[in-house]
Amino acid sequence: METTLAAVYCEGWDDGLVNPLTSDQAEARDSFGKPYSVVLLSGGRLRSVLNISWTEGYCGVVHYDDAGERTAVHELRRAPEGDLFLRESTTWDGPARHTTSWQLSGRRSDSIEPAGARGGRHTFADDGFVAPRLPIPAFGRWNALLERTARIHAEACTAPFSEVCVIPPAAGGTFLVLDAAGHDLPARTAAERPWHPPRPLQPYGLEELFRDGAERAIRDRRVRLSTHPAGKLNLPSGRLVAADPSSLDHGEEPFLTMVPPGTYCVTVSLATFTDDPGHSRVAAVRLEVSDRHPVRWEPALRDGQDLLDLGYNEFYGFGVDAGMACFVDEDNRERLAGEWESLELRDPRFTTVADGDMVAWSSGWGDGAYPTWIGRDAHGRITCFVADMLLFGASAP
């Protein structure tokens, strides 16, 4: 059975069109990887919404019933090979909810909630599964995407967890998608679209943080940046740990990216308020692996961390509860776990510990979570690690 759908374009759906677009405007956004939405109607009634941003390799598909209630949400992400794979699928039948997520490694995880938000959950996970995949559709060719995601609703309740699934399979079918000749949907303009693609926090201005004399605005004030050598850090294993020194005995994991064992210089960037020279904060700390110039940055990840799990402006960071942070080698981590109790990081706001086995500093605005970035040169070689204290906020312009 073929279903005919009418496509309307906008920047987002929020009980109506937000910032409507023509088909040509939406296609231009598609070609440049900019976010936009496709609202699909059946008989003038909302059927599905596609939220698309190819810069992030993202397509979200939301299906609705005749009452306008969500019945399924699918998140598709770009695989390294260039096609799309289903990262997560959630389906509803009344209050019952079934969420399935896939990893490219072959792991599938299911969460089944027969009573929905009222409580009760069954969770399962196993390896050896292939995530559903499909090519990235050309603009306007939404039928293949819809047909595949319609089948996903049914496939979510197949083995190995069908005996506890509470959501009935959905009907299949094919689709014919045409541009809408007209519609009666409400529309409005807004400064922001109602959704964001899952773009993790991006590094911003890291190199400027280590430029002596540079000035930046912060909280309606200005600060002047200065760099200070903090000594050398011993990395006998080459496995770097960034952490609150008070949590080193809690199993803080080293970063997956290693460097050759050795001793590396550490530089601290201090931000001093121009209207209060006695008030300074640590803006960032750099572990210098080489003197080559970084041309790109990537987040430093620990075991089990996947960038596909991050939403808009999210990041993986090390937690701080004692107002301090440190770099230390994994081999020295447990031995130095008690050193934090004797640290006073006021003036200066950093110090070396145990002849260079640890470098510690006061952590930006204090407690919180802070990302670490890896700099690479034009050939992909590691140039540095930078712990960003987010003095200027976690939102890049």
Same domain, 254 and 305: yes
Query: Are 352 and 358 spatial neighbours (Cβ–Cβ below 8 Å)?
Result: yes
Same domain, 323 and 215: yes
Query: Are 274 and 222 spatial neighbours (Cβ–Cβ below 8 Å)?
Result: yes
pLDDT for 219: 78
- CA gap 304, 322 in Å, rounded: 25
Same domain, 99 and 238: no
- Domain end residue (candidates: 154, 188, 222): 188
- Domain end residue (candidates: 123, 157, 188): 188
pLDDT for 218: 87
**pLDDT tens-digit series, residues 203-242:** 989 999 999 999 999 878 999 999 999 999 999 999 999 9
Same domain, 302 and 180: no
- Domain end residue (candidates: 136, 154, 188): 188
pLDDT for 166: 57
- Calculate mean pLDDT across residues 18-26: 97
Q: Is the pLDDT of residue 169 over 60?
A: no
Q: Count how many domains the chain has.
A: 2
90: which strand partners?
A: 73, 99
* pLDDT interval class at 162 (50, 70, 90): low
Q: What percent of the chain has pLDDT over 90?
A: 66
Q: Is the pLDDT of residue 146 over 60?
A: yes
Dihedral, CA atoms, 308, 372, 293, 212, nearest 10 degrees?
140
**pLDDT tens-digit series, residues 46-81:** 999 999 999 999 999 999 988 889 988 999 999 999
- CA gap 148, 155 in Å, rounded: 10
**pLDDT tens-digit series, residues 116-125:** 878 888 888 8
* pLDDT interval class at 181 (50, 70, 90): confident
- Calculate mean pLDDT across residues 347-372: 93
pLDDT for 148: 82
Q: Is the pLDDT of residue 300 over 60?
A: yes
- CA gap 39, 25 in Å, rounded: 15
CA-to-CA dists, residue 286 to 178, 207, 328, angstroms: 54, 10, 13
**pLDDT tens-digit series, residues 236-245:** 999 999 999 9
Query: Are 364 and 283 spatial neighbours (Cβ–Cβ below 8 Å)?
Result: yes
Same domain, 245 and 176: no
3-state secondary structure of 236: coil
Same domain, 298 and 211: yes
Under the phi-then-psi rule, with left for phi > 0, alpha for psi from -120 to 50, and beta for the rest, what region is 380?
left
- CA gap 371, 104 in Å, rounded: 25
pLDDT for 115: 83
**pLDDT tens-digit series, residues 323-337:** 999 999 999 999 999
pLDDT for 373: 98
pLDDT for 396: 38
**pLDDT tens-digit series, residues 83-135:** 999 999 998 888 888 898 999 888 999 898 888 878 888 888 889 988 888 89
pLDDT for 153: 61
Q: For residue 380, give its domain range.
A: 207-388
Identity of the amino acid at 385 = F
- CA gap 236, 275 in Å, rounded: 43
Same domain, 158 and 218: no
Encoded tokens for 376: 């690479």
Q: Element (H or E) spanning 150, and its range?
A: helix 143-155
Mean pLDDT of the chain: 90
Q: Is the pLDDT of residue 158 over 80?
A: no
CA-to-CA dists, residue 82 to 54, 77, 138, angstroms: 11, 10, 13
In a domain, 196, yes or no: no
- CA gap 139, 79 in Å, rounded: 19
- Calculate mean pLDDT across residues 257-280: 95
Identity of the amino acid at 244 = D
